[in-house]
Structure 1
Amino acid sequence: MGAATLLSVSGAHAATPSISEVYNHVQNDPVRLNMFLRAFPKGADLHNHLVGAIYAENMLDWAARDNLCVSLKEKRILDHACTHPGDEEVPAAELSHHADAENVLIDALSMRDFVPSSGDASGHDHFFATFARFGAIEDAHAGDMLAEARDRAARDHVTYLELMISPGIGPMIGAGFHHPLKGDDLPTAHQALMPEVPALVQKARAETDQMEAQAKNVLKCGTPQAHPGCAVTVRYLFQTLRTLPPQAVYAQLDAGYATVKADPRFVGLNIVAPEDDPTAMRDYDLHMRMFHFLNGVYPSVKLSLHAGELTTGLVPTDGLRHHIRAAIDVAGASRIGHGVDVALEDDPASLLAEMARLHVMVEVNLTSNDEILGIKGAAHPFPLYRRAGVPMALSTDDEGVSRGDLTQEYVRAAQTYNLSYADLKTLSRTGLEYAFVPGESLWTDHQPGQFVSACRTLPVASASCTTFLKSSEKARLQWALEQRFGTFEATVTHEGLYQ
């Protein structure tokens, strides 16, 4: 009698099912699928803007703690206490007694219950408008934000976070305005900025120190009361803004590169803000040339660039022809964020083949792409990237604004694209494989599941594997993920709720 049909002595129980059989059993049951995927180990969230990761309720709580005022007319948090409280301005601390007003603000600070209207016509505009509405509390609560993001990641069984942050960016922008950029004369711009860069880097590092100290205090790391978030590994991408004049963008990039080189907590660089903004569209190629130049000034800084977060409804068709390709070929990006318009680029087949050959990974943000661009389901290039063999990992983008988490992205991918358990495991592993955390990979030739020769003894590390793991932070995180998979799979295959 085969193992698959072997019954116990009582005849009451079948043999333990495989993990794939358990997954297949719950795949079409939304409640149990969500339970299954919430406990599912997730390697990394590589596309996560810290300021957008925060829920509106927390923003309003911090505003109340700081005795700030909220404007019901402008639907935003103000940077001062109320001077004339009334129908249009209310102390944030009093919102708990005004449920209707509090709900209006939560909707304005997030995508909750968004419905297009004459004054708020698109998900794209509403989404990006939220950031200005809670900007008043960002600086004072960066550490609270970090603590929230880490705790949510822990609850979501995420091993590693690569958060986009912009410490010290104001002085960097200001420095740019002191040094006008003349066309493409980037070497002169660099020389003019050089005397100011050390102080700009120090400012960025000091703000990061302050953020981390505040987060450690909130999470109680190092104490018996430590939050689960303390165990989540975190690194940062320095994010720069693309919607400013060229000299201000250049100064951010130059100082951002220098910050990454100086501080190992920063593992790469990105450029953010709406790609369809007129300034961002006009200067896109100039920005790519800035990256190309700075790659020579600061060798080995890694880039993950927002590119292709566009549709025909946002920009003219000429604007869809080359952004992803330029981010790779000119700027030297090794990861692409979004990449939604890839099929509309010039010669998409050769672009996809190049991405597969060079192992350029795409950070896929399914919920965000739906809410901002209206792209979902069969209209999303997720299946196209899979067919072309381009590596992908799921990420959240702005999970607080979107009212979700990484589990939501896995559930959405599983249900929309009929993914197998093996597919989901590959997505999870791929996140860590293409993370910018330093060290050699546990996998051979970017092939998750194909262990390097030193480490083919899971779950117990051999002497040679232990030596290898000590030499590589990335491999240690990958090994930990594999151990988590072992525990998860052993647990769920014996859980009666999934049978």
Structure 2
Amino acid sequence: MKNNIKAVALAAAVFCAMPYAQAANANEEATKRHLAALLAPGKDPKLAELTMFFTLMPKGGDLHHHYSGAIYAEQYLEWVDKEGFCVNKNSYTIEKAKPAGVCVSGQDVMNDNTLLANLLQRWSDKDFYNHSAIQSPPDRQFFDTFAYFGPVSSTNTADGLQRLKQRAIQENLSYIETIFEIAPIAQDLDFDKKATSGGVTEADFAALSAKLDQDQAFQGWIGAYLQNVKTAGAGIDDANFTLRYQPFALRFLSPSQVYSQIVSSFKLASSSPQIVGVNIVGQESVNVSMRDYALHMQMFKYLKSNYPQVKLALHAGELALGMVPPEGLTFHIKEAIDVAGASRIGHGMDIAHESNPLAIMKKMRDQKIAVEVNLSSNDFILGIKDQAHPVTLFRKYGVPYVLSTDDAGVSRNNLSGEYVLYAARYQPDYAEVKKLSYDSIRYSFLADVDKQRLLKSLDGKFAKFEADIAGAAASGKR
């Protein structure tokens, strides 16, 4: 024990005698060696130490983050009681009426281990592979979870954002760009009929936009959305954490409903500095999503021409061979970039099947269009992992990418866990994972002043992290 104390004291004395830059470089090299030892070729990755390493490591941002999917089921159960609802213990749905004999409180669910375990199998991916015989296929299991907690997912948003903030700080995450709430929506049956029969033109887009401008209920919803962002997000940003928002459209709705949501998303992003981009979500492989994909990209193109300052982070290519006919895998990423004008791509999983993938990846590299990589959900929903995952292509061909969580509450994961998966599967060196952290700020949609602030903060956080790792490594060798 005394020898260890002396060794650490000696190391500290030597450190103090070094010029600052030299000491910082020494700490970075020591951290690099430490991670390499955890990922030594030919040996099983040291997962416990990797978990600790990446939990401690500063992580810039989580850029593909669904608010409702990030909240854990246990928190939703609290809101069930707060809103005066109950849980049907037969169907595990949230009920507003409280049918006698089958309706229990959220606290009752929490106090009944069997009931809670059964609920978590439906409200999340937990224990799926232990009980998959009684569940839907993985993709349906994942997307079906949102209907269970949907009745309370848009309530208590201030509480939800604060919980997400505290969880982020706990794992040394500085920034979240959350896909927050569904964008305001309206329907126009004439537009839908024309879109599904003969197609629509830019003149039709313009006419529906003008109609929406005169829709007082629609405009009121936009105002309420802005107020919710302002109220729910009050007090979130501070020296340790920053949060920004993306409204979204649901791609499996009717054409006019999708268009109205994209319109309101652009208006929202133009009206608040807290709303930094727009998105489109929903299972990409279902019939309407596939049928209307090209139409949706034309909608984005038209509105992007009217709102050129608004940035797009579009879910594109979240598909695998066999989910849809082969031709359905050939164009989604390309059209998201070339037609819609996306600045980031969510998932990008079908890149190897796209027509001329090398040209697409070159364009993404040259134009710095980053991919939001979601390892856990790609594995669960699509069954794609390890060397089959296209992150191997992005690495090889220089396409920028970042690691993100997707739906941490549904997947029961966090961003540190995604870094652990990445390191264990692909054996990156320390420079690569450090760059991933910085890139998650560089490719964010933050205003430049905020981006520079967070990058500077990362410098200090990494200096401390590397000093801690170097000190622990030196102590461990004594």
Classify the TM-score, shorter chain: 0.7 to 0.9
2:158 pairs, out of 129, 138, 143, with 143
Aligned mates of 1:372, 1:414 — CA distance in 2: 21
Aligned mates of 2:315, 2:452 — CA distance in 1: 27
Note if contact 2:67-2:181 (Cα within 8 Å) is conserved in structure 1: no
Structure-2 residue corresponding to 1:25: 37
1:199–1:62: structure 2 CA closer, same or farther, 3 Å change rule? closer
Q: 5 Å matches for 1:162-311?
A: 162-166=177-181, 169=183, 172-173=184-185, 175-177=186-188, 180-181=191-192, 182=194, 183-184=199-200, 185-196=204-215, 198-213=219-234, 216=235, 231-311=240-320
Alignment of 1:82 with 2:120, yes or no, is: no
Alignment of 1:484 with 2:461, yes or no, is: yes
Structure-1 residue corresponding to 2:112: 98
Deviations 1:308-365 (A, max 9, x none): 1001121110100000000000000010000011000011111111111111100000
Aligned mates of 1:277, 1:304 — CA distance in 2: 20
Structure-2 residue corresponding to 1:109: 123
Structure-2 residue corresponding to 1:421: 430
Counterpart of 1:41 in structure 2: which amino acid? P
The 3-state SS of whatever aligns with 2:233 is: helix
CA drift at 1:10: 9.4
Aligned mates of 2:418, 2:132 — CA distance in 1: 27
1:97–1:489: structure 2 CA closer, same or farther, 3 Å change rule? closer
Counterpart of 1:37 in structure 2: which amino acid? F
CA drift at 1:94: 1.8
Note if contact 2:8-2:471 (Cα within 8 Å) is conserved in structure 1: no
Aligned mates of 2:476, 2:212 — CA distance in 1: 60
Bigger drift between 195-204 and 488-497 goes to: 195-204
Aligned mates of 1:210, 1:292 — CA distance in 2: 32
1:10–1:269: structure 2 CA closer, same or farther, 3 Å change rule? closer
The 3-state SS of whatever aligns with 1:255 is: helix
Bigger drift between 57-66 and 242-251 goes to: 57-66
Deviations 1:145-169 (A, max 9, x none): 21121111111111111000125x3
Q: Quote the RMSD (CA, aligned, Å).
A: 2.3
Aligned mates of 2:323, 2:395 — CA distance in 1: 26
CA drift at 1:186: 1.2
Counterpart of 1:265 in structure 2: which amino acid? Q
CA drift at 1:81: 5.0
Alignment of 1:57 with 2:68, yes or no, is: no
Aligned mates of 1:364, 1:157 — CA distance in 2: 19
The 3-state SS of whatever aligns with 1:474 is: helix
Aligned mates of 1:204, 1:415 — CA distance in 2: 41
Aligned mates of 2:93, 2:322 — CA distance in 1: 28
1:114–1:498: structure 2 CA closer, same or farther, 3 Å change rule? farther
The 3-state SS of whatever aligns with 2:340 is: coil
Aligned mates of 2:360, 2:476 — CA distance in 1: 42
Bigger drift between 111-120 and 126-135 goes to: 111-120
Deviations 1:21-45 (A, max 9, x none): 1222233321111111101011110
Note if contact 1:25-1:498 (Cα within 8 Å) is conserved in structure 2: no
Structure-2 residue corresponding to 1:133: 148
Counterpart of 2:207 in structure 1: which amino acid? T
Deviations 1:100-120 (A, max 9, x none): 111111221111000364552
CA drift at 1:85: 2.2
Note if contact 1:163-1:235 (Cα within 8 Å) is conserved in structure 2: yes
The 3-state SS of whatever aligns with 1:131 is: helix
1:355 pairs, out of 346, 364, 380, with 364
Aligned mates of 1:341, 1:98 — CA distance in 2: 42
Bigger drift between 127-136 and 346-355 goes to: 346-355
Aligned mates of 2:132, 2:35 — CA distance in 1: 41
Aligned mates of 2:297, 2:387 — CA distance in 1: 31
The 3-state SS of whatever aligns with 1:435 is: coil
Structure-2 residue corresponding to 1:406: 415
Q: Which has the higher contact order (CA 8 A, sep 6+)?
A: 2
1:195–1:122: structure 2 CA closer, same or farther, 3 Å change rule? same
Aligned mates of 2:190, 2:272 — CA distance in 1: 25
The 3-state SS of whatever aligns with 1:134 is: helix
Deviations 1:263-288 (A, max 9, x none): 11100000001011110100000000
Stretches of structure 1 lacking an aligned partner (at least 5 in a row): 1-6, 222-228, 440-471
The 3-state SS of whatever aligns with 1:267 is: coil
Aligned mates of 2:94, 2:324 — CA distance in 1: 31
The 3-state SS of whatever aligns with 2:413 is: coil
- The percent identity for this pair of structures is 37
Aligned mates of 2:282, 2:460 — CA distance in 1: 38
Structure-2 residue corresponding to 1:462: none
1:117–1:32: structure 2 CA closer, same or farther, 3 Å change rule? closer
Aligned mates of 1:489, 1:8 — CA distance in 2: 15
Structure-2 residue corresponding to 1:152: 167
User: Once superposed, which parts of structure 1, at least 4 consecutive aligned residues long, lie more than 6 Å away?
Assistant: 7-11, 13-17
Aligned mates of 1:129, 1:9 — CA distance in 2: 56
Aligned residue pair count: 441
Counterpart of 1:281 in structure 2: which amino acid? M
So what's the TM-score if we normalise by structure 2?
0.87
Counterpart of 1:176 in structure 2: which amino acid? Q
Aligned mates of 2:57, 2:252 — CA distance in 1: 38
Structure-2 residue corresponding to 1:329: 338
CA drift at 1:200: 3.5
Counterpart of 1:98 in structure 2: which amino acid? D
Structure-2 residue corresponding to 1:461: none
Aligned mates of 2:424, 2:177 — CA distance in 1: 26
Bigger drift between 66-75 and 285-294 goes to: 66-75
The 3-state SS of whatever aligns with 2:277 is: strand
Deviations 1:458-478 (A, max 9, x none): xxxxxxxxxxxxxx2211111
Stretches of structure 2 lacking an aligned partner (at least 5 in a row): 1-6, 15-25, 40-44
Deviations 1:70-115 (A, max 9, x none): 122222222x1523024xx323232244221111112211110003
The 3-state SS of whatever aligns with 1:390 is: coil
Structure-1 residue corresponding to 2:21: none
The 3-state SS of whatever aligns with 1:235 is: strand
Aligned mates of 1:487, 1:493 — CA distance in 2: 10
Aligned mates of 1:498, 1:31 — CA distance in 2: 16
Counterpart of 1:189 in structure 2: which amino acid? L
Counterpart of 1:408 in structure 2: which amino acid? G
Aligned mates of 1:375, 1:9 — CA distance in 2: 48
Structure-1 residue corresponding to 2:83: 66
